[in-house]
Amino acid sequence: MVRTRQGFTLVEMAIVLLVMGVVLAVITSLISSIPNLKSTETEAETLAGNFQRARNTALFTNNTFYLEFDLDENTYRGYLIERVDGESREKEKFDHSLASSNGLVAISVGLSGRVETGKVRVTFLPDGSAEQVAVYLGEPPLASQTVIMNRYGGTTKILKGEEPLQLEKQWSENLESF
């Protein structure tokens, strides 16, 4: 009488569990990267981190770094201009898209006013300075979060609601307030 074993061996069971774990990890990472599932608060924190990343990249590479917002496509990207042998090349560092429920409502750069359509480029100079920027995030036309980046220090603030960019036009006359 020949007896056959039923079920899996320990090695076969380990391989099945390993494959199931890898598939579960891939599915989880795909679901978490879907922009619709991210909250406006999370997108504001991501944007604040990308402002710091852009400033630090400009400082550490001693090159000009650009952060370009496309309000129509609801995306922004960061790229570096590298100069090699007298030629300049664009090297993309990151590209980020947002959902319409927590997307780009408008941007204010310096004293230029509020921009609601088109492309807006923020330039980080090699010393890390850039224009003061306010990015309004939410479901258009209402902004639920405002991310403000300071011009010289590069610090960012995340505020609830829509806060206008407050720049003192006669800052040289009011030095005590700075």
Tens of pLDDT along 122-165?
Answer: 999 988 888 889 999 988 778 888 899 988 777 888 888 887 77
Please indicate, yes or no, whether the overall pTM of this predicted structure exceeds 0.85. no
Predicted confidence at residue 103, as pLDDT, reads 83
pLDDT band at 36 (very low <50, low <70, confident <90, very high): low
Q: Is 133 inside a domain boundary?
A: yes
Domain membership of residue 8 (yes or no) is no
More confident residue, 102 or 67: 67
Whether residue 175 lies inside any domain: the answer is no
Q: Strand 133-138's sheet: what is its strand order?
A: 114-115, 103-109, 133-138, 145-149, 156-160
- The answer to whether residue 4 is domain-embedded is no
Which band of pLDDT confidence, cut at 50, 70 and 90, is reported for residue 35? low
DSSP letters for 110-123: TTS-EE-SSEEEEE
Inside any domain, residue 56: yes
Average pLDDT value over all residues in the chain: 83
Residue 176: C-alpha distances to residues 108, 152, 173 (Å) = 25, 17, 9
Considering the chain, what percentage of its residues have pLDDT values greater than 70? 88
CATH number at residue 70: 3.55.40.10
State the total domains in the chain: 1
Strand, helix or coil for residue 103: strand
In a domain, residue 23? The reply is: no
Q: Which two tokens stand for residue 40?
A: 């406006």
Residue 174 is predicted with a pLDDT of: 53
In a domain, 163, yes or no: yes
The pLDDT value given to residue 178: 43
Task: Give rounded-to-5 percent helix, strand, coil for the chain.
Answer: 30, 35, 35
Give 30's pLDDT tier (boundaries 50, 70, 90).
confident
In a domain, 19, yes or no: no
Q: Tell me the C-alpha distance between 13 and 15, whole Å.
A: 5
Give the structural domain span for 57: 38-168
Q: How far is CA 53 from CA 59, 93, 134, 168, 175, in A?
A: 10, 10, 17, 27, 30
pLDDT for residue 1:
65
Average pLDDT value for residue range 172-178: 51
